[in-house]
């Protein structure tokens, strides 16, 4: 089985949507094997999203990610990386398929409720960014 990093973003924690979002993951067969609620500093958000540092929206993105608590979690299951992104829906909620998290809950392309790792290598790096091996409890 595969593992992926998921983040419930500030727009969703502010609106008290963490349970509804996690119900979608669990209904899709993904298991939450690690989970914590934290508030990122701007510096931590910049480090996490360093791959986007040259993008015009980098400042907006990192300030948003540090603007309220997030829930960081590890999802486990068969094909978890792709399955998570399927349940999340397209980055821009206007393009997201019906029934996906972003179609139902996201407010805009920036404030889009969830993050999910996009490949096995980034999943490994992103899980290690937030969790130690001791915190992963399958």
The residues binding Mg ion (CB under 5 A) are 118
User: Encoding tokens for residue 59?
Assistant: 């400042």
Instruction: List binders of ligand GTP among 95-124 (CB under 6 A).
Output: 109-110, 112, 115-116, 118
Q: How many CB atoms lie within 10 A of CB 70?
A: 25
Sheet containing 114-116: order of strands: 31-38, 70-77, 2-8, 114-116
Among 61, 71, 80, 127, binds ligand GTP (CB under 6 A): 61
The reply to whether 52 belongs to the active site is no
16 is in an annotated binding site: no
- Determine the Cα angle at 131 with ends 127 and 132, to 5°: 115
Q: In 3-state terms, what secondary structure has residue 63?
A: helix
Residues in the chain: 138
Q: Which is nearer to ligand GTP, 63 or 135 (CB)?
A: 63
Q: How far is the CB of 134 from Mg ion (least distance, A)?
A: 27
Q: Which does 129 bind (CB under 5 to 8 A by kind): Mg ion, ligand GTP, none?
A: none
Is residue 91 a contact point for ligand GTP (CB under 6 A)? yes
Is residue 44 a contact point for ligand GTP (CB under 6 A)? no
- Orientation angle between helical segments 18-27 and 80-88, nearest 10 degrees: 130
Query: Whole-angstrom Cα distance, residue 3 to residue 25?
Result: 13
Q: Which of 3, 24, 83, 115 is catalytic?
A: 115
User: Residue number with the shortest CB distance to ligand GTP?
Assistant: 110
41 is in an annotated binding site: no
Interface with ligand GTP (CB under 6 A): 52, 57, 60-61, 91, 109-110, 112, 115-116, 118
Catalytic center residues: 115
């Amino acid at each position: 089985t595969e593992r992926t990093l998921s983040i419930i973003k500030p727009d969703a924690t502010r609106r008290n949507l963490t349970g509804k979002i996690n119900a979608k993951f669990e209904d899709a067969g993904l298991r939450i094997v690690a989970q914590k609620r934290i508030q990122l500093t701007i510096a931590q958000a910049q480090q996490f999203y360093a791959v986007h540092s040259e993008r015009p929206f980098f400042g907006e993105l990192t300030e948003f990610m540090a603007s309220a608590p997030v829930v960081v979690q590890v999802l486990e299951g068969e094909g978890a990386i792709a399955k998570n992104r399927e349940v999340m829906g397209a980055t821009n909620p206007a393009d997201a398929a019906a029934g996906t998290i972003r179609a139902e809950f996201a407010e805009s392309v920036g404030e889009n409720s969830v993050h999910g790792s996009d490949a096995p290598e980034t999943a490994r790096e992103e899980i290690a960014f937030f969790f130690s091996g001791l915190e992963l409890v399958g």
